[in-house]
């Protein structure tokens, strides 16, 4: 019998998640049944959607998220011992999984798959640039914004897991890229390391004035990770028939009351804008296509995946709230 540990959410979050909202449970795993595998967790992802989905799921529940694990025992011929597997089993050190396991919340069942061929890159990228965040950036930006060479793209949350990839993909496609981030250090990193044309510290600048100066030809595409008044300001400066992909609203996830922001309808009407929200599972049948291209860009030096690594199963909560507070540059991952 294998002893396992998992993080269980026992209370709905009220504002910033508290350690007391969770409980670490130790339990014994049962013997494997046909079709099942025993996984030892190696890498766990912490992402904003873990906060966003919390209120919609009855408690208690096992804290889900993407993880990379290695098969230790198997009764599934598709996953031999030693295979590295991506699942949505989340914050645990060992877990039993099969491909038809019901998922917590509103997630599809097709979330167990072999780690993509990373061509020697770190397996941690399987929950980052060559995982769900990677295909979120890839499909969300390319499918909804339909960028054209020479256009101006604005990205908020630009130093995060998804935003940093969106900006780099926009550069690959020949666009001018402006990013908003929350510190001078992050802005310098975006410009010097990732090649953004301009990065703006939203905590210091007047967004409207600074954006006008940075985008003399206006904004054609906007990839929105944050919502709030900043998004209203950006949308007000878009060009006719501009496109907006709405990925999230992290500025509001920890707020106890829904924040208010300036209305968008005048810009939508007079500039004939297209705004579309999305869930990356829309393209789940095409994720492999995205993984292949992302690996090629990374191996070719066009895409630089950056990780903020925390070590230790016991540090999962710290990594989670740190990510929500913007302490990470690039993808926040935990090595278990």
DSSP state string for 213-280:
HH-TT-EEEEEESS-HHHHHHHHTTEEEEEEEEE---GGGTT-SS-------HHHHHHTT-EEEE--G
Q: Quick one: how far is CA 292 from the chain centroid?
A: 18
Q: Which of 216, 274, 281 is nearest to 246 (CA)?
A: 274
What integer pLDDT is reported at residue 256 of this predicted model? 79
d(CA 68, CA 141): 25
Residue-wise DSSP of 6-62: EEEE-S---SS--GGGEEEEEEEEPPPPTT-EEEEEEEEE--HHHHHTGGGSPSSEE
Is the distance from CB of 112 to CB of 85 less than 8 angstroms? yes
What integer pLDDT is reported at residue 52 of this predicted model? 92
Collapsed DSSP state (helix, strand, coil) of residue 326: coil
Residues in the chain: 336
What integer pLDDT is reported at residue 104 of this predicted model? 62
d(CA 321, CA 332): 11
Angle (CA) 290-291-295 rounded to 5° is: 120
Report the CATH fold assignment for 2-130+305-335: Quinone Oxidoreductase; Chain A, domain 1 (3.90.180)
What integer pLDDT is reported at residue 255 of this predicted model? 78
Tell me the sheet residues that pair with 238.
Answer: 219
What integer pLDDT is reported at residue 98 of this predicted model? 87
Q: Which of 113, 105, 110, 56 is nearest to 83 (CA)?
A: 113
What integer pLDDT is reported at residue 271 of this predicted model? 97
User: Which class does domain 132-279 fall in?
Assistant: alpha beta
Q: Retrieve residue 45's tokens.
A: 């992802």
Q: CATH 3.90.180.10 in the chain: give the residue spans.
A: 2-130+305-335
Collapsed DSSP state (helix, strand, coil) of residue 89: strand
Q: Which of 250, 252, 307 is nearest to 134 (CA)?
A: 307
Per-residue pLDDT of the chain (336 residues; tens, 9 = 90+): 899 999 999 999 999 999 999 999 999 999 999 999 999 999 999 999 999 999 999 999 999 999 999 999 999 999 999 999 999 999 999 999 987 766 666 676 668 999 999 999 999 999 999 999 999 999 999 999 999 999 999 999 999 999 999 999 999 999 999 999 999 999 999 999 999 999 999 999 999 999 999 999 999 999 999 999 999 999 999 999 999 999 998 777 777 788 899 999 999 999 999 999 999 999 999 999 999 999 999 999 999 999 999 999 999 999 999 999 999 999 999 999
Collapsed DSSP state (helix, strand, coil) of residue 308: strand
d(CA 262, CA 260): 7
Q: What is the pTM of this model?
A: 0.95
What integer pLDDT is reported at residue 105 of this predicted model? 62
Q: CATH 3.40.50.720 in the chain: give the residue spans.
A: 132-279
Q: Quick one: how far is CA 256 from the chain centroid?
A: 23
């Amino acid at each position: 019998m294998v002893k396992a540990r998992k993080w269980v959410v026992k209370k709905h979050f009220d504002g910033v998640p508290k350690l007391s909202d969770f409980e670490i449970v130790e339990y014994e795993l049962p013997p494997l049944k046909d079709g099942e595998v025993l996984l030892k967790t190696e890498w766990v992802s912490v992402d904003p959607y873990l906060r966003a989905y919390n209120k919609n799921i009855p408690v208690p529940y096992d804290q889900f998220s993407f993880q990379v694990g290695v098969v230790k025992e198997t009764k599934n011929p598709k996953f031999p011992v030693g295979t590295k597997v991506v699942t949505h089993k989340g914050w645990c050190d060992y877990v039993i999984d099969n491909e038809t396991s019901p998922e917590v919340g509103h997630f599809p069942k097709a979330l167990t798959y072999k780690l993509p061929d990373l061509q020697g890159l770190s397996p941690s990228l399987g929950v980052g640039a060559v995982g769900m965040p990677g295909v979120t950036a890839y499909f969300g930006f390319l499918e909804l914004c339909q960028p054209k060479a020479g256009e101006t793209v604005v990205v908020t949350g630009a130093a995060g897991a998804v935003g940093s990839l969106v900006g780099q993909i926009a550069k690959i496609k020949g666009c001018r890229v402006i990013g908003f981030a929350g510190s001078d250090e992050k802005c310098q990193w975006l410009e010097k390391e990732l090649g953004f044309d301009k990065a703006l510290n939203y905590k210091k600048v007047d967004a409207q004035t600074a954006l006008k100066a940075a985008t003399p030809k206006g904004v054609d595409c906007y990839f929105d990770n944050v919502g709030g008044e900043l998004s209203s300001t950006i949308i007000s400066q878009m060009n006719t028939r501009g496109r907006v992909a709405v990925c999230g609203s992290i500025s509001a996830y920890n707020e106890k009351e829904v924040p208010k922001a300036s209305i968008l309808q005048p810009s939508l009407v007079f500039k004939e804008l297209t705004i579309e929200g999305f869930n990356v599972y829309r393209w789940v049948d095409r994720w492999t296509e995205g993984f292949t291209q992302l690996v090629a860009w990374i191996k070719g030096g066009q895409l630089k995946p950056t990780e903020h690594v925390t070590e230790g199963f016991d540090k999962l909560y710290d990594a989670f709230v740190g990510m929500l507070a913007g302490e990470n540059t690039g993808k926040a991952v935990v090595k278990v």
